[in-house]
Amino acid sequence: MATDYLSSNRYGSNRWQGYEIFKLLSDRNGKPFSDGGKYVVFKDGKLICEENTERAANEKYFDGVCDGLSKKDYLGLNEKLR
């Protein structure tokens, strides 16, 4: 399982408060994504999206819709980062 921690609130404004993005090879169940790595975004510790591009992931962040899965339960994310 590989994890690239890309950023946390990287733009320094309130607009990005709670933002975290990772480039992951494994999904929420710890299984490899079928089409390669994805950009996974969390807001305040809740999953927002899993997208193929960072741009699409950032756009979803602003929609603010989360599916309720907590970062600590996202098995594709390295345990130390959860």
Q: What is the pLDDT of residue 40?
A: 93
pLDDT-derived band of residue 41, with 50, 70 and 90 as boundaries? very high
Q: What is the pLDDT of residue 81?
A: 82
pLDDT-derived band of residue 36, with 50, 70 and 90 as boundaries? confident
CB 82 within 8 A of CB 46: no
CA separation for the pair 23, 3 (Å, rounded): 6
CA separation for the pair 1, 4 (Å, rounded): 10
